[in-house]
Chain A
Amino acid sequence: MSIPISKTIQDIKPSGIRKFFDIVSEMKDAISLGVGEPDFDTPWHIRDEGIYAFEQGKTFYTSNSGLKDLRIEISNYMKRKQGLIYCPDGEILVTVGGSEAIDIGLRAMINEGDEVIIPQPSYVSYEPCARLAGANPVIIDLKSENEFRLTAEELENAITDKTKVLILPYPNNPTGAIMEKSDLEKIAKVIKEKDIFVMSDEIYSELTYSDTPHVSIASLDGMRDRTLLINGFSKAYAMTGWRLGYACGPKELLAQMTKIHQYCIMCAPTISQYAAVDALKNGDEDVKTMKMSYNQRRRFLLNAFNEMGLECFEPFGAFYVFPCIKEFGMTSEEFATKFLEEEHVAAVPGTAFGRSGEGFLRISYAYSLDTLKVAMERLARFVNKLRSK
């Protein structure tokens, strides 16, 4: 008997460097700089709300689109942060992490053969999700000289008459790049002219370190109804394991997404939803405190790179830095492997996030300063060793 396997899924490669990172757990003194989630525990008051929800027996399904109270809080949050008005009934859908929203958003928008534009380096799930939805992904290779921001020209060159959606992944994982209002305005202009749609993944929106807070493309003139905005609780509130995100957008699209969500998920975890209400109501101070720590670490790393003469543009978002290792004449993967073998520090090769990540490393600063200090000592030693050869 042959095991039935879909051709589409078979053609999608698993995340190739999994094996590489299994080594990390076997090395005793290994330091990982590889994770993509906060090192902070979920703030206690949020966990406490979760516990209370358990005690109250809030263990049933919620409505498909999510707890009404949560949708109201999300609506308030969007108004407060971005001046965006989304109706809690019909324009907001609570999902299992931002990742579900990416998947069902694409599935709700794509017809077989549509093109989805994906700027890379970026989060690894966009391309496979687009393929699973039947789309042809069109990759834009972002450039380090633009600090990995998307330019209007790059976008225009990628658009064809089959283009349906642009995925806009800012603040960006893995580069830490952000798009400021002036950058977004140029993109918005092209979007409107070419009449395409945007899926804006803003999961790191709370974690920006420039003078002005994150701006959503949806908040720009005429963009609200051309944007599916995705956000969640994982990064801002250190709630990755709670699996909770959401999508906001025009109700016609949300209605279709809700159908997929309804048939394959039912609803996001109930306990998490109760806790998330508290996160949005009372979590601003926690976000501020965590962000302050991230920013200190970010400055520490940039200074360390500077001292060892490693090229790195200043990233203003997320909790990643993306130093350039081209001077050593190795591929990202070779560099990362050697670094792990010789210095027992794991950093993710930039190529894990797309071919344009070649020559770069993703270093996460979701680690304590003490850990980062040791890691940077090892990196400095490693870099010196390579240079003296």
Chain B
Amino acid sequence: MREELLLIIEKNSRIDLKELAVILGVSQEDVLNELQNLEKEGIICGYHTLIDWDKTSVEKINALIEVRVTPQRGQGFDHIAERIYNYPEVKSVYLISGAYDLLVTLEQKSLKEISAFVSDKLSTLESVLSTATHFILKKYKDHGTILEKKHKEDEREIMI
């Protein structure tokens, strides 16, 4: 049930306990226990809402920053990653295979703020060798959800 439960709430964290129990074919108590375990084990790390900020009047600019760094002895990339992810404006930090090391995503109110972050904070870190910043112009799909979903009528015929 664990994997199935995770798959369901990954897409719909607002689903209530009763319904989860029904569609999983287990008791509500079992679902509750499993959810608590998953939280305790750090498998469920949070419950978020996917928001398309572009449709609001709030200004938000997102950037992807490729960062090349020198790994540190005994710590690999973990230490520098921590230095970077502690900034609240940093939304995600991934260690990447290939031409660069860390992929950092950033959310700010303006281009200026992003460039300030890159030039003042990120680039000045000792082990950062270089950065390349890419601004996100439009989000088509995020977290597996198509943001501008075209409405599709159910055109299926009743055939028996």
Question: B156 on the interface (CB 8 Å rule)?
Answer: yes
Task: Say whether B157 faces chain A, with CB atoms less than 8 Å apart.
Answer: yes
| Residues of B contacting A283 in the complex (Cβ-Cβ under 8 angstroms) | none
Residues from chain A with a CB closer than 8 A to the CB of B7 are 292
In the complex, chain B residues whose CB is within 8 Å of the CB of A299: 22-25
Of all chain A residues, the one with the shortest Cβ separation from B159 is A36
Q: Are B154 and A39 in contact (CB under 8 A)?
A: yes
Interface centre among B4, B23, B156, B158 (most CB of A within 10 A): B158
- Residues in A14-42 with C-beta less than 8 Å from chain B: 15, 17, 21, 24, 32, 34-37, 39
Q: Is the CB of B158 within 8 A of A35?
A: yes
CB pair A300 B22 closer than 8 Å: yes
Residue B96 at the A interface, CB < 8 A? Answer: no
Residues 30-43 of chain B, each 1 if its beta carbon lies under 8 Å from chain A, else 0: 00000000000000
A124 lies within 8 A of chain B by Cβ? yes
Q: How many contacting A-B pairs (Cβ < 8 A)?
A: 45
The stretch that binds B, out of A197-205, A218-226, A271-279, A346-354, is A346-354
Over the window 298-312 of chain A, the binary record of Cβ atoms lying under 8 Å from chain B Cβ atoms (1 yes, 0 no) is: 011001000000000
Residue tally, chain B, CB below 8 Å to A? 14
Contact residues, B102-160 vs A (CB, 8 A): 154, 156-160
Say yes or no: B158 contacts A303, CB within 8 Å: no
Tell me if B44 is interfacial: C-beta within 8 Å of chain A.
no
User: Looking at A15, A296, A299, A362, which has the most chain B CB atoms within 10 Å of its CB?
Assistant: A296
Nearest residue, chain A, Cβ from B18 = A303
Interface residues on chain A, size class:
20 to 34
Tell whether B8 is near chain A: CB-to-CB under 8 Å.
yes
| Interface hub of B24, B156, B160 (most chain A Cβ within 10 A) | B160
In the complex, whether A139 has a CB less than 8 A from a CB of chain B is no
A20 to chain B, nearest CB (A): 9
- Whether the Cβ atoms of A34 and B158 lie closer than 8 Å is yes
Using CB atoms and an 8 Å cutoff, list the residues of chain B in contact with chain A.
4, 7-8, 19, 22-25, 154, 156-160
Chosen A-B contacts, 29 in total, with CB atoms closer than 8 Å, are A15-B160, A17-B160, A21-B158, A24-B158, A32-B154, A32-B158, A34-B160, A35-B156, A35-B158, A35-B159, A36-B158, A36-B159, A37-B159, A39-B154, A124-B160, A292-B4, A292-B7, A295-B25, A296-B23, A296-B24, A297-B23, A299-B22, A299-B24, A300-B19, A346-B158, A348-B158, A352-B160, A353-B160, A366-B156
